[in-house]
Structure 1
Amino acid sequence: MTGTVLPAQSPHAPDEGRSRLVAIGLMCVAVICFSLLDTSAKWLGGSMDPLQVVLARYAGSMAMVLALFNPWSRPGVLRTKRPWLQAGRSLLLLGSTALNFIALQYLQLAETVSIMFATPLLVALVSGPMLGEWPGPRRLAAIAVGFIGVLVITRPGFGGMHPAALLSVIGCFCYAFYSLSTRVLSAYDSSETTMIYSGVAGTLVMLPLLPWIWTTPQTPLPWLLMLATGALGGFGHWLLILAHRLAPATVLAPFIYSQIIWMIALGYLVFGQLPDRWTFIGTAIVIASGLYLLYRERVRHVPEDAASARLD
């Protein structure tokens, strides 16, 4: 006689399911924040140096984070076990932000985010030499297909996109190494400590450039948007931290791709721009490759006893 043994229902299962739903909601709100951040940066880039927008983004974020986490309310929050890694990670994030804001002067919102969707592919590719997490042949094939999608979006040599797309590609590399360094740092420092160093480092690096990049806004709206970039960046990253405390990354990662919906909508509503068919095709290829990588990641981490739940 054969039968199927159903796993016992955990008394905490409803709470776990509720936590995952909350985490997914936090992730979706976070990507909306980042979409609004990029929209504000693109709009401001039409009247001021994009590096001024970068400074506003980091100074505002730093003020917000320090208001929440500081040595007085959280003693020892500034203490880090890996100061050089914190500095390198902060510079990678700053480089990615600056390159993205400069590229936004010439590219559509949907184009820049489509290229940035290749970040998980790069992370999977370089995790081998850096972390010893070597991808198998199926994951390597998915990575290769994903990069083909990036080529479809940028179409190098075919005159399909502005050369500023190269800045987005370099920014994507910066963000991939930033993501890897964040994973390494999570074993040594708290998320609060890492957030503080990101804002402080970005502000300190950009401040000396202020006399050469500053343009005084003549109306209240640019001032408000400059403040909004800092608030949106800081709040969005904090929501990501909260989301990852409630659910694993493999559950949350697919919802990052919902950002393309907001970027297309905001690009059309604010700038009257719609991506061409090649951007749609390339984006679909990159997203499909990223989702397949997530699927393979979940398969690799299925507990061995799950396979023995069925009895012959």
Structure 2
Amino acid sequence: MIDKTSGGQHHILTGILFICGAGILFPVMNGFAKFLGESGYDSLQVSWARAFGHILFMLAAFVPRFGLAMLRTHRLGTQILRSALLMTSNLSFFFAIITIPIAKAASISLTAPLVVALLAWPMLGERTTVGRLVALGVGFVGVLIVIRPGTELFQWASLGVVLSATCYALYQILTRRIAGTDSPETSAIYSSIVGAFGLMFVLPFVWKTPESFRDIAYFCSLGVLGALGHYCVARALHYAPANIVTPFQYMQLLGSVVVGYLFFGNFPDVLGWVGAAIIVGAGLYIGWSQRKAS
């Protein structure tokens, strides 16, 4: 039940503002990553900067408050697997947006909640319904409209975003699994550990020294923007119920359209908007049906 008091309404509004903030931060981060990729920096280097900056920012933010004890985990194997999935998701997305518009990539990536709903039954035992299965099918029709395989507008890089969304969905499912054993701060640190330290082994083969202060600023901003975005999501869920703030995560699509237009002059065509609307509608229905069942 939603709190009708002025204090409860204030908290809900605060949660909505936080989730909308994340919808601005993530597209800007992706815009900087696209700039770097188009400037000749390898996606592996860009993904490493994203992960390593995330680790540094989280350590600076959390260690003074929680101490080094926050690094202790009861599910090390699961944490490593989560981190590997997030690294693969980021790497696939950064690779894809070198060649496709950010708004198109964002539309496809919004299938992550649909994949979570599909896999939550076999992996978490969360039973689904016929209506949700139909919504899943409709959502993936929306993806086909955005990608348009078999036409001259199809780009193979779009499949990289599909891989990114799938890995991110698996990452979310594993995050649910360990929510009762590890603290959110611990999971936040471990989420980027594979990308931050695992990619160091390939950096010597792909490294390109930043050529300008602008490029250095973009590299440094990736981890900060990503970490702040995830922090905004966490704070949003602290202030307001998930079923209220979750629909506002689709602000990320509008943020991506704005960033794509202002930074690169890209704007979705009519079918792109239609496909995105179908994906969002399917996701909202699944969220509504879960709320109704709870």
| TM-score (structure 1 length as normaliser) | 0.90
Among candidates 7, 21, 32, match of residue 29 of structure 1: 21
2:268 equivalent among 272, 275, 282? 275
Looking at structure 2, the residues matched to 104 and 243 of structure 1 have their Cα atoms a distance apart, in angstroms, of 27
Aligned to 2:73: 80
| Offset, 1:233 | 0.7
Runs ≥4 in structure 1, deviation > 6 angstroms? none
Matched, 1:45 2:37: yes
Question: Which residue in 2 is equivalent to 1:15?
Answer: 7
Change (3 A) 1:78 1:209: same
Distance of 1:57 and 1:83 partners within structure 2: 22
| Bigger Rg, structure 1 or 2 | 1
**Structure-1 residue corresponding to 2:138:** 145
Please tell me whether residue 260 in structure 1 is matched to residue 253 in structure 2.
Answer: yes
Paired residue secondary structure (1:22): helix
Q: What whole-Å deviation, never above 9, does each CA across 1:236-286 have from its counterpart, x for those lacking one?
A: 111111111122211111011111111111111111111222211110100
Select the residue among 71, 89, 106 that pairs with 2:99. Answer: 106
Q: Quick check: 2:23–2:253 contact (8 Å CA) kept in 1?
A: no
For the 8 Å contact 2:87–2:192, the answer to whether it is kept is: no
Equivalent of 1:63 in 53, 56, 61: 56
- 1:1-312 matches, within 5 Å, as 13-47=5-39, 48-70=41-63, 73-301=66-294
C-alpha distance in 1 between matches for 2:75 and 2:87? 18
The alpha-carbon deviation at position 13 of structure 1 amounts to 2.9
Deviation at residue 73 of structure 1 after TM alignment = 4.3
Matched residue of 1:150: which SS? helix
What TM-score do you get using the length of structure 2 for normalisation? 0.96
Aligned length: 293
Cα distance in 2 for partners of 1:50, 1:175 equals 18
Distance 1:122 1:253 in 2: 16
Distance 1:255 1:161 in 2: 29
Contact 2:112 2:165 in 1 (8 A): yes
1:70 shift after superposition: 2.5
- SS of the counterpart of 2:192? helix
User: 1:34 aligns to what SS in structure 2?
Assistant: helix
| Residues in 2 aligned to 1:32 and 1:229: alpha-carbon distance in whole angstroms | 13
**Percentage of pairs with the same residue:** 37
Give the whole-Å Cα distance in 1 for the aligned partners of 2:99 and 2:211.
Answer: 23
Residue identity matched to 1:21:
L
TM-aligned CA deviation for residue 159 of structure 1 = 2.8
Structure whose residues are more often helix by fraction: 2
CA contact (8 A) 1:71 1:78 kept: no
